[in-house]
């Protein structure tokens, strides 16, 4: 392969000289927000720019998808059979399907990492720059479930990951519905601990500038809130013109609380049907990916190192307890270890006056046993998956 072809097939590299990783965009949103249409639009946009993404669908209940998926949960999990076999309802079926799919998460990450790296056998194939993930419309079944956390942790441990929270703009035009969406976004942000973009969809029906104003101008939201109260938008005595004082007070308090929260978000208005605002969305994705590498990655690395250190200390503690129980300091224990794995078949037994040599051999035997024990513990952890931490998984992949 000449230098020209190498330069066209090799992706950008980071400061450490390694291949720059693709950005994972996880789309979440309530049912009816236009999430699937939005996924179709951004997928088509990337294909049009000659940067085809790698697409993953995690919604097992959909019967039709407007976009093609490289990895589809429906190919490995039959949602209807899960409901029948486990006697579950729709939400329980989705959660159980996700649980079953999560058992294959190591294979999923392996496929993503393979597609994100150059292919020596096909140097003309460019590694992907975006991995798009669609999720169930039942947000709680994904974000607050164990399987959803595992999947998100796995992705974030391997690639820069961004959450795109899709909102139905026309339905969010009232202050109460807007605030409900913002509280949902706040809870998702602090649950996932990942950079977030608020995507106000369906701007062809309702312009999203009101939302941008409410998020950046506290007084503008207060004026809209007072207007809703005067129009009895929250209920109350007919003809009173004041509405529910409790509801207005609650929304006012929540808006004060969320003012700081808004500063950590990027907000874009898009129309999935017409394609407007998609360039702004990918600009926001790029900014949030840089934010992930700058602010989130060091914290993930710190926690990963901390978990590894705790596991190491736990292994050492178990080793010390085992060594005390075996009383390795005595001659009998040394001979027992020697009988299991003798170093030399022609070795002669030590005489009573060779105490110093006995201490040296005893220390060597102890070190050898410790090394074998730690290797055994590591092998057992890798084979059984007893530790659910995906920092462990990432460590084993890099090892």
Give pLDDT tens digits along the chain (399 positions).
Answer: 433 333 333 344 444 444 578 999 999 999 899 999 999 999 999 999 999 999 999 999 998 899 999 999 999 999 999 999 999 999 999 999 999 999 999 999 999 999 999 888 888 888 999 999 999 988 988 999 999 999 999 999 899 999 999 999 999 998 889 988 998 998 999 899 899 999 999 999 999 999 999 988 888 888 888 888 777 666 655 444 444 566 777 777 777 777 777 887 899 999 999 999 999 999 999 999 999 999 888 877 787 788 778 878 887 887 777 667 655 444 444 433 333 333 444 444 444 444 444 444 555 555 555 565 555 555 555 544 444 444 444 444 444
pTM of the model: 0.71
Length of the chain equals: 399
Q: Which of 161, 50, 158, 175 is nearest to 108 (CA)?
A: 158
**189 token code pair:** 């942000």
pLDDT at 259 (0 to 100): 75
Buried b (16+ CB within 10 A) or exposed e, 356-393: eeeeebbeebbeebbeeeeeeebeeeeeeeeeebbbbb
pLDDT at 125 (0 to 100): 86
pLDDT at 151 (0 to 100): 94
Q: What is the dihedral of CA 230, 234, 235, 239, to 10 degrees?
A: 10
């Amino acid at each position: 392969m000449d230098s020209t072809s190498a330069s066209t097939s090799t992706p950008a590299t980071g400061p450490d000289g390694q291949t720059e990783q693709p950005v994972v965009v996880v789309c979440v949103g309530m049912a009816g927000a236009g999430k699937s249409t939005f996924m179709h639009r951004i997928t088509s946009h990337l294909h049009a720019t000659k940067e085809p993404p790698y697409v993953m669908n995690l919604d097992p209940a959909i019967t039709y998808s407007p976009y093609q998926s490289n990895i589809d949960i429906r190919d490995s999990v039959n949602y209807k059979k899960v409901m029948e076999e486990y006697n579950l309802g729709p939400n329980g079926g989705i959660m159980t399907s996700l649980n079953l799919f999560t058992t294959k998460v190591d294979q999923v990450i392996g496929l993503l990492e393979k597609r994100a790296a150059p292919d020596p056998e096909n140097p003309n194939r460019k590694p992907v720059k975006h991995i798009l993930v669609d999720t169930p419309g039942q947000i709680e079944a994904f974000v607050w479930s164990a399987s959803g956390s595992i999947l998100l942790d796995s992705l974030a441990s391997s690639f820069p990951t961004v959450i795109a929270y899709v909102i139905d703009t026309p339905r969010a035009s009232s202050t109460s519905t807007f605030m409900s969406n913002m509280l949902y976004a706040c809870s998702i942000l602090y649950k996932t601990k990942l950079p977030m973009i608020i995507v106000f969809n369906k701007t062809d029906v309702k312009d999203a500038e009101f939302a941008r104003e409410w998020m950046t101008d506290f007084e503008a939201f207060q004026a809209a809130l007072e207007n809703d109260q005067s129009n009895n938008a929250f209920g109350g005595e007919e003809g009173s013109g004041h509405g529910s004082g409790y509801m207005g007070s609650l929304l006012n308090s929540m808006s004060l609380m969320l003012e700081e929260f808004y500063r950590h978000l990027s907000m874009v208005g898009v129309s999935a049907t017409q394609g407007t605002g998609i360039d702004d969305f990918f600009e926001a994705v790029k900014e949030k990916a840089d934010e992930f590498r700058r602010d989130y990655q060091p914290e993930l690395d710190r926690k990963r190192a901390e978990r590894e250190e705790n596991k190491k200390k736990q292994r050492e503690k178990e080793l010390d307890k085992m060594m005390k129980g075996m009383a390795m300091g005595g001659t009998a224990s040394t001979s027992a270890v020697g009988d299991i794995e003798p170093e030399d078949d022609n070795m002669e037994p030590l005489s009573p006056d060779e105490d110093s040599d006995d201490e040296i051999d005893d220390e060597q035997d102890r070190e050898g046993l410790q090394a074998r024990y730690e290797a055994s513990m590591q092998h057992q952890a890798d084979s059984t998956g007893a530790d659910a931490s995906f920092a462990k998984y990432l460590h084993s992949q890099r090892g």
